[in-house]
Amino acid sequence: MENQLVIFELGGEFYGVNIAVIESIIKMQTITAVPHAPRFVEGVTNLRGTVLPVICLRRRFGLPTTTPTKETRIVVVEINGQNVGMIVDGVNEVLRVSDDAVEPPSQLVTTADSSFITGIAKVGGRLIILLDLGKVLTSQEQAELHAVPA
């Protein structure tokens, strides 16, 4: 069986998410900071008349933050019934990846904090980390994200 994945870059690594959860991919735009928001929440933005919470995926993954470039994108995804924007370094491509090319993550490299990694895909000479976006935000972080005022 094949999975259709959107591949994006973050900190020099490639990540893949199922295309079914992607609502849209937009260029970086103005984000309004929200006081007392969780550390990984960049703020909110106006997306076609709707207030969209935006998270910094670099901060969520414990990576150093960088200044946005012309390649920086906001990937709008639906997580647990709510649209959320995720800032990524760039979106590379859409790939079809067969189940045979995916291995489960090694227990040596995963912890409770990285339970959102569902597998590693070997595509050409690259390794692509597959994510379960529903698990990228824990239940506590989901509650905090819902509390971001509109």
Q: What is the pLDDT of residues 35-68, one digit of tens each?
A: 999 889 999 999 999 999 999 999 988 899 999 9
What element of type H or E holds 141? helix 139-146
Task: Report DSSP letters for 61-104, one per residue.
Answer: TTPPP----TT-EEEEEEETTEEEEEEESEEEEEEEEEGGGEEP
For position 15, what pLDDT does the model report? 94
Question: Does residue 6 surpass a pLDDT of 80?
Answer: yes
Question: Does residue 139 surpass a pLDDT of 50?
Answer: no
For residues 16-34, average pLDDT: 94
Our CA dihedral for 137, 69, 22, 127, rounded to 10 degrees, sits at -80
Q: How far is CA 22 from the centre of its chain?
A: 10
pLDDT digits (tens, 9 = 90+) for 78-116: 887 889 999 999 999 999 998 888 888 776 555 545 578
CA distance 93 to 134: 21
Q: Which two tokens stand for residue 13?
A: 């690594």
Of 16, 79, 74, 81, which is closest to residue 46 (Cα–Cα)?
74
**Worst-scoring range by mean pLDDT, 13-27, 59-73, 107-121?**
107-121
- pTM given for the model: 0.84
For residues 5-21, average pLDDT: 93
